Structure 1
Amino acid sequence: MEATAKPLLIPPQMAVYAEEHQVFDILQNMVQNLLMDRPDDPVQYLIHHLRKDNDGVPRIVVLGPPASGKHTMAKLLCKRLNATHLTPENILSNDVSALVEEALSYKGKDQEIPDVLWARIIQERLSEVDCAKRGWVIEGFPQTREQGLLLQMNGISPDHIVVLDAPDIVLIERNMGKRIDPTTGEIYHTTFDWPEDPEVQKNLVEPAGISEEETGKRLLEYHRNILGILRAFPKKYKKINADQPCMDVLSQALTYVLSKPRSLAPFTPRILLYGPPGSGRSLQAALLAQKYDIINVSCGQILKEAVADQKKIGQLIEPYIENEQQVPDNLVLRVLGDRLSRLDCTTRGWVLHGFPRDAEQAALLNDAGYIPNRVFFLDIPDDVAIERLSLRMTDPVSGERYHSLYRPAPRVDVHRRLQQNPADSEQKVQARLDMYHASAEELEEFYQDVIHVNADQDPHTVCEFIESCVVKPLPKRIPGEPPSP
């Protein structure tokens, strides 16, 4: 097909399907596991891998010095993510494993369990059904850089490592108040987490190794090893201040572990900007298009271009534009669909503004296959919108646009000939704002992953925030919870 005579149109469903079903990520994981395990029958191995359907389960390690709250945080993460909680102690409770029996024989002789054996035991445990299906959170392991490297050599690589951090003096104070229920193994604290049940209080005992001197030695050992561990897992860890309320630590940890690692899959941005009049949609679209070489699709502009082309569709649209009436949705979609399905939009991506304006138009756009992967709501107060629009005027000679407050005319003669667009009068702007507010809530419900942006600030600051949300993958959702707006 001659692209100069008739633009090559590509069905939008292709890119949407690949992104929605994470086709490239699946292929990447399959090849990665195939090269790591090197099975004799690659085809059957890949079939088995696809049947497991566990590429998206949590794989988390929680590290931290003594008394930093590793145990509590690991349990809370497992509860929220429905994952399996693993510690070096409970991994050694598997009484049917030959590897575990070998490790216990070392412990019976008061000898250190070899790191190679630890790696094989953990590999064996992670291959069991509960870890494979639900994911896992490992608490307090690896403890050295060598252990971390051996885990990776055995094909174990966490997606997220949560590193709890707090001043040593705080940790020593915490550790000295620790108490354990020998019946259940639950950990309590004399200051922060004392049980209400008197019977439980009577059973609590002071664990071994919590004196100030012993805690200091364990802290020294931890600080000696932690940097080496983190170097073994670059770009996979996040330090979180553990010297704050537990729920605050959990909130930060959840935000991190629900974030998706950067994918090597090709990403074509399909951005929708929605906001009240005066929120700066056109400017933000122009900035994004200029920086990332994506196509700036202004609905109003392409309708005018269709009229200027004098084609059949343009002749149908022209009467509505001349009479300042809303163009019917079916005509808008025909023009919009033709533009969004061209090769440049399909390969480079697009940023759309001016359509849809309500949930009904959004449904029509989705049904046509043009589904944005980022939806931004540019939020500004009504009085700011009125101030931005009602005080702007245009020089009919030069075509330059000025604003009484932010960009006044440079000379008196220019100021005298400035003219205001009738659509920018305060009454008409308020009417457009009312129309916006009438549809905004329904449109936000339609697009579940809406990102709100404070547009009442410097335009380049707004653009930087939008950029950060475009280049980063959307966070995972907690199982069983509705998507957050």
Structure 2
Amino acid sequence: MEEIPNTLWAKLILERLSKMDCIKRGWILVGFPKTREQALALQEMGIAPEHVVILDAPDTVLIERNLEKRIDMTTGEIYHTTFNWPTSSKIRKRLVKPGGTSEEETAKRLLEYRRVIHGVLNSYSKKYHIINADQPSVDVFSQTLSHVQSRHRSNAPYTPRIILHGPPGSGRSLQAALIAEKYGIVNVSCGQLLKEPVAAETRFGEAIKPYAESRQPVPDVMVLKCLSRRLSKLDCSTRGWVMHGFPQDVSQAEMLNDAGFIPNRVFFLDVPDDAVIERLAMRMTDPITGERYHSIYKPAPTSEVYSRCKINPKDSEENVGKALEVYHANVSELEQFYSPVIHVNADQDPYTVFEYIESCVVKPPSKNPNAFV
């Protein structure tokens, strides 16, 4: 049986987490990621959990637990001969030992787990918390609940207020996700914020909906209203934020400043126009697997896969060219407004880009009285 690609898993998870119940109530993700590659796939989709809880116990304990596990094939309920044995003789009679739980099979799975778990921990190095699972389940639950209810403290040396600006395809959303993940600050995506009230069918969302359906820009006043609500929340004011998608011109930047949201870092992700067109106009998606390909960097494995791949209309060379024209028409004035800004060569490996951005994030804020503060 062929394994599901990590990118498809991440896409499916993103689709589920984008639904209104997850947005309003939060979510718990179990069973993914299992490897560093899967963790990076989530990060590339902008999925950054606030808490990562690792339940761990000695291998001997885990093997013993698996050996005594039983399953009710009628209800799917899982029991244990020591910790959770049913009182009903009728239920006990239909319990069976599930496959893959022998000592040899469990030891093999644990060996693989121990081999790859360090990659996952490194991906969430400032966020994970290990809880001893070799204790009563009520204690495990109590400790887990206590941890997830605690407020994260940013790892940054000051409260970051970061804006990422750049042309389409410059990697702003990925860099924002990486920064938010590393320093525990809030990832504020303007596009995502506008989708949430529409999905919730709020009064504000109903006002935005016609613009979304016609693919027209939402008026600046409405965008600022949405952003102000988010940036005014306690997590943004105490932990800091990294924002992308706004402002796109000086008028929007002035509105943001007048509202009291003044960044202390503004990064310009620089990518040549031909590289942007190459990144976007040549990428495609397999509608069956969800796997993403690129004509140069990641070609489709077979002619059959290539023939069924689709290109997003907004990624056509013509549309990308129009977006670049709008970007270049505003970039100089916006750079002058936020001077001094930090220019980053984004035409290289994204994790090299992140390392440079990170080095600038940890520097003390500028003492220049004429600089943004």
Q: By the TM > 0.5 criterion, same fold?
A: yes
Please, which of 303, 310, 335 is the counterpart of residue 444 of structure 1? 335
Asked whether the equivalents of residues 161 and 263 of structure 2 are also in contact (C-alpha less than 8 Å), the reply is yes
Q: TM-score, normalised by structure 2?
A: 0.56
The equivalent of 1:464 in structure 2 is: 355
Runs of 5+ unmatched residues, structure 1 = 7-263
Q: Using a 3 Å threshold, how does the CA distance of structure 1 residues 399 and 5 change in structure 2: closer, same or farther?
A: closer
Task: Label 1:272 to 1:321 Cα distance change in 2 as closer, same or farther (>3 A).
Answer: same
Indicate the SS of the match to 1:271: strand
Is the contact made by 2:156 and 2:183 (CA closer than 8 Å) also made in structure 1?
no
Matching residue of 2:193: 302
Letter in 2 for 1:276: P
Alignment partners' CA distance in 2, 1:475 and 1:347: 20
Match of 2:277 in 1: 386
Pair 1:270 & 2:161 matched: yes
Look up the match of 2:170: 279
Q: How does 1:333-482 map to 2 (within 5 A)?
A: 333-477=224-368
Determine which of 179, 182, 206 is the counterpart of 1:288: 179
SS at match of 2:339: coil
**For the Cα contact (< 8 Å) 2:166–2:270, is it kept in 1?**
yes
**Superposition RMSD on alpha carbons, in Å?**
2.5
Q: Which amino acid aligns with 1:426?
A: E
- Distance in structure 2 (CA, Å) of the matches to 1:465 and 1:361: 27
Cα distance in 2 for residues equivalent to 1:269 and 1:411: 46
1:412 and 1:473, CA in 2 relative to 1: closer, same or farther beyond 3 A? same
TM-score scaled by length of structure 1 = 0.43
- Alpha-carbon displacement from aligned partner over 1:70-126 (angstroms, at most 9, x marks no partner): xxxxxxxxxxxxxxxxxxxxxxxxxxxxxxxxxxxxxxxxxxxxxxxxxxxxxxxxx
Cα deviation, 1:192-220, whole Å, max 9, x if unaligned, reads xxxxxxxxxxxxxxxxxxxxxxxxxxxxx
Q: Is the 2:162–2:241 Cα contact (8 Å) retained in structure 1?
A: yes
Matched residues in 2 for 1:398 and 1:369: separation? Answer: 45
User: Which ranges of 4 or more aligned residues in structure 1 deviate by more than 6 Å?
Assistant: none
Deviations 1:402-422 (A, max 9, x none): 211112223443322211111
Q: Give CA-to-partner distance per residue, 1:147-190, whole Å, 9 cap, x none.
A: xxxxxxxxxxxxxxxxxxxxxxxxxxxxxxxxxxxxxxxxxxxx
Determine helix, strand or coil for the equivalent of 2:242: strand
State the one-letter code of the partner of 2:193: I
- Residue 459 and residue 397 in structure 1: after superposition, are their counterparts in 2 closer, same or farther (change >3 A)? same
Structure 1 position 475, deviation (Å): 4.3
Q: 1:377 to 1:389 in 2, by over 3 A?
A: same
- Displacement of 1:400 after TM fit? 2.8
Deviation of 1:427 after TM superposition, in Å, equals 0.9
Count of residues paired in the alignment = 222
Match of 1:375, SS state, is: strand
* Partner SS for 1:407: coil
Larger Rg: 1
Partner of 1:329: 220
1: distance between equivalents of 2:211 and 2:24? 29
% identical aligned pairs: 64
Name the counterpart of 2:62.
none
